[in-house]
Chains A and B, each alone.
Chain A
């Protein structure tokens, strides 16, 4: 026999939106701590991530799970704000993200932004075709923990390298981690650009940010 909490995790992992929201309300009514509820959500997202990596799930499921979590968050966060002053929204870190100059693609960047926000990161999205100067200005203003450079075109790899070289020239390269993604990135491109890591999908980007900011798995 499964417990209510097991049912809860399974309902999110299985994309059963109605059941997930119903149990959320049951847990709230029963006085369950908001952090405990969000912990169960994290467990469910780990199952979703595993199914995605095993190609049982695809991008639509990843986004649906994210949407379910958004709805749960809307129910749970007000309780956190009311019950524990200042601890309502855990921000694991700040991620500055943008599509590098010369490239106008933003689908991958937007998905990564969406998933990072769901996973408790503050994301500052600079948009598309972002100049090196715009990255430098935004870094100075926001002091991010992580910078994400996105680009779909193969030509974007040069813009990524230029951007990273500018971080070096400005003497700020070691102040944050840099991840790249969005196209046909691999170890060779990683080495070429000088970034710290690359991700081939949104879950990998989330995992990188969690690792770099010391968020427990």
Chain B
């Protein structure tokens, strides 16, 4: 692990990963347990649990998965369902004793579903707050500036404090959302980094955590960078190299990946920094240089 103070929420228990989908299709609880153990042993501080559609249609299965995971690991869980009913089931099943008394994470609450703060009636929890979207005139909208991300984070925390729940700043994990660079004509990666900077330096938000899921960043691009290195992994590390010093301290990721800072002379990091300084066609041209020489 190359970054100090970077907490990993293991992302692998999710049928969205093709290699994992079969475990869910076949009710392979032992396989899911093995995946939980592997992530915990690799350093995950939390395990994200996403059962896909079955979380809505098969509550008994969801219950069995949570209990089975807690039978084999003592790390707290992160329940990844944007649905109050499913979260209610998860929080009721969650065994604090098996997690050493540590709180689970509700993943996630956005301005479009503030009623989920009321889930604290079941038990205390940490919560991932989606700062990438806001509600405007009753409609959910994606944020397009770092200032909007920062403001949304502040509003979400204010809403949490005004709810019936009792939250400490340490309970808030602000998700800034990290976009696919291959489609980033609008400077969204720059926006995420600037948003992290604003949140990380805001005295009113002191003590909160800042996170994002990195697996999107290298999507829709080839496997290898122009210098022959693994492009996806390098892009994830390039982002972390610049984000961690700004306050980014939680990562939804794969714990056995080699997350480590890149040197300033690294080809992918240098090109990454060129790309995020640009927008429009210029950004796309620079993005091509990540994987196309010349």
Q: Which A residues have a C-beta under 8 Å from some C-beta of B?
A: 15, 17, 55, 58-61, 63-64, 67, 102-104, 106-107, 110-111, 127-129, 153-155, 157-158, 183-184
Contacts and interface: CB of A to CB of B under 8 A. Distances in A.
Contacts of A59: 180, 182-183, 220-221
Interface stretch (B116-124, B162-170, B285-293): B285-293
Contact of A155 (B52, B140, B287, B291): B52
B142 A58 contact: no
Interface string B189-223: 00000000000000000000000000010001110
Interface of B: 15-16, 18, 21, 50, 52-53, 55-57, 81-83, 110, 112, 130, 132-133, 139-142, 179-180, 182-183, 185, 216, 220-222, 280-281, 284-285, 287-288, 291
24 contacts: A58-B220, A58-B222, A58-B291, A60-B183, A60-B221, A60-B284, A60-B288, A63-B183, A67-B284, A104-B110, A104-B140, A107-B180, A110-B183, A127-B139, A127-B140, A128-B133, A129-B133, A129-B140, A153-B82, A154-B15, A154-B52, A155-B56, A158-B56, A184-B21
Given A104-B130, A183-B16, A55 B222 contact: yes
B180 A158 contact: no
A106 B140 CA distance: 11
Nearest to A189: B53
A35 to B, nearest CB: 26
A64 B281 CA distance: 6
Given A17-B281, A104-B140, A111-B183, A61 B288 contact: yes
B183 A104 contact: no
A59 to B, nearest CB: 4
A128 B142 contact: yes
A153 B48 CA distance: 14
Nearest to A99: B140
A64 B285 contact: yes
Given A60-B221, A104-B112, 20 more contacts: A15-B288, A58-B291, A60-B284, A61-B288, A63-B284, A64-B284, A102-B82, A102-B83, A104-B133, A104-B142, A106-B142, A107-B179, A107-B180, A110-B183, A128-B133, A128-B141, A155-B56, A155-B83, A158-B53, A183-B16
